[in-house]
Chain A
Amino acid sequence: MNESLRNIWTILKRELSGYFASPVAYVFIVIFLLLNGFFTFMLGGFFELGEASLSRPFFNWHPWLYLFLVPAAGMRLWAEERRVGTLELLLTMPITAAQAIIGKFLACWAFLALALALTFPVVGTVYYLGHPDGGAIFAGYLGSLLLAGAYLAVTVATSAMTRNQVISFILSVVICFFLILAGWEPVTSLLVRWAPAGLVDLVTGFSVMPHFASFQRGVVDFRDLLFFASVIVFSLFGTSVILRGLRGA
């Protein structure tokens, strides 16, 4: 157990330092912060709303923002290993594929968490202007992090499917887009008109939207945690199946 944690840690360190060894990390963080600011203050109408809350002006945009940024951050995780051939090196070292998958996933998730943490000035702003509900802000951040994790796990899986980063990016955007649309109100309200209620529930059950929405409202529900955890576990497990398939098992 100790050894497997050490292996995961070694891989995590390597991946994370890989982000910061090139300008990619800095470009990503700057773009993420700029877009966040733009959406919150320009499109979100933070000041016009006159509420001391981040729920609508800030977190509302995250499912859409992550839709492109998370696949961009994660698309190289396995695709690059496959293209360069280092996959062979990595998987012939004395580690299991699961350790490698988890290490890579956690590295990229930690990177996304860092980018998210750097949005702290927005929290400062809302505290300066009013008296927000701290719990709701915490829940919103937690939900946002889990949302990023779910998208990232999907990206990890699509990244293992191909040696081409662009294909991996497009595939994960499409899948994550489905995860949004299935529970996005304009779509569900169309569905409700003709589909039986059971079907509508089933489809929306796949979506990140209702689960993220409760975090946004400041509610940390076990079922929502379970949803995100199962998307992550399922996708990472899928990744291990894909990797095994690659090696012709």
Chain B
Amino acid sequence: MDCPPAIPPHDPRRTRDDRRFDTKTLPMIDVENLIKEFGPKRAVNGVSFTVRRGEILGFLGPNGAGKSTTMRMITGFFPPTSGRVRIGDHDISEDPIAAKKLIGYLPESAPCYSDMTVSGFLRFTAEMRGMRGAQIDEAVAKVAGLCFLEGVLHQSVDTLSKGYRHRTCFAQSILHDPEVLVLDEPTDGLDPNQKHEVRQIIKRMGQTKAIIFSTHILEEVEACCSRAIIIDRGTVVANGTPAELKARADAAGSVHLRVRGVSGDTLKGRLGSLPVAGRVQIQDNGDGSLSARVFPRDKSTRADLALSIAQAATQAGWSFDELHTDEGRLDDVFRAITLPDSVKARD
């Protein structure tokens, strides 16, 4: 036998068992072919991905795409119809208690026990997480500081504003310093300052933990995620770093040039004749300036495009005040991937 006897030959882990003992590359969240059916409706249809320690995974998708359902299966709230979730070394269906101990979870609506005080609620969670005595005081004081809850610790949860309630539930999820953090729309309903704070906490924790969070805010993904997944109608339709995803946008790699005192035809003719250029779009800005968007002829000419255009503009003596290469926008990629074809046609 060339494989360790601990893993049976038919086990899917077998192909990766060399990695299992390396804590750096061990996937903390390992989701494999997850399927969830509610009656005849299939909410999640074969989702697979992994999140390693030190990774922050952004989970994107339109409403009803199956984000929350997937997260509920990862955290063990919903048992999957089929498929497998492993948290660290524990299967969530076979060893739920050990797996759940590693997870901190912020559900979508950030629910809290409204008949308790903030401190009572946090102490209860700490106790449920197995902490005792001084440990509880310490953990509660720490998260209260992190989430700016000191002022409301002794206030009843149902007297709190939405932002505070949200942060109370967030505090609950990081209270036991979990290895795995699952956050369903962690910045929903917060004001810009609070959003910034929560993102900072996520980023800081993301250095040593495996984090997955869902959001509708695409800048958030660019700001904190090391990788993003777009899910649509229950399946993963894109998986990559934010930069990789942006590169999939139509406009990605095109060069934008804004000039004054040049006619549209001259501009189009000159730019179009560049050997590296492909399609050229001209737009009148209405203030005496024109904008040109030049697409590369093909992928290989992308790198030289901006320089060639700058040289051409200088040679022709055009006065231009803007020249940049478009990285593509996540919004565009998101729309292109997740809009149903009928809606795209209408646009």
Contacts and interface: CB of A to CB of B under 8 A. Distances in A.
Q: Do A and B bind each other?
A: yes
Interface of A: 3, 7, 10-11, 14, 17-18, 21-22, 84-86, 88-89, 91-96, 247-249
Interface string B109-151: 1011111100010001101111000000000000000000000
B29 interface: no
Contact of A94 (B79, B128, B156, B172): B128
Contact of A18 (B72, B77, B107, B115): B115
A14 B78 contact: no
Contact of B105 (A21, A92, A96, A249): A92
A10 B79 contact: no
Interface in B62-85: 72, 75-79, 81
B339 interface: no
Interface residues of B, number: 36
Interface of B: 36-38, 72, 75-79, 81, 96-98, 100-101, 103, 105, 107-109, 111-116, 120, 124-125, 127-130, 156, 169, 172
Given A14-B116, A94-B96, 12 more contacts: A14-B113, A85-B108, A85-B111, A88-B77, A88-B105, A89-B105, A89-B111, A92-B77, A94-B97, A94-B129, A94-B130, A247-B78
A91 B38 CA distance: 19
A85 B129 contact: no
Identify the 5 closest CB pairs spanning chains A and B, nearest first. Answer: A85-B111, A94-B100, A92-B75, A88-B107, A94-B101
Nearest to A18: B115
Nearest to A100: B128
A92 B100 contact: yes
Nearest to B72: A88
Contacts of B124: 10, 14
Nearest to B113: A86
Given A14-B113, A17-B120, A84-B111, A93 B125 contact: yes
A96 B97 contact: yes
Contacts of B36: 248
B129 A93 contact: yes
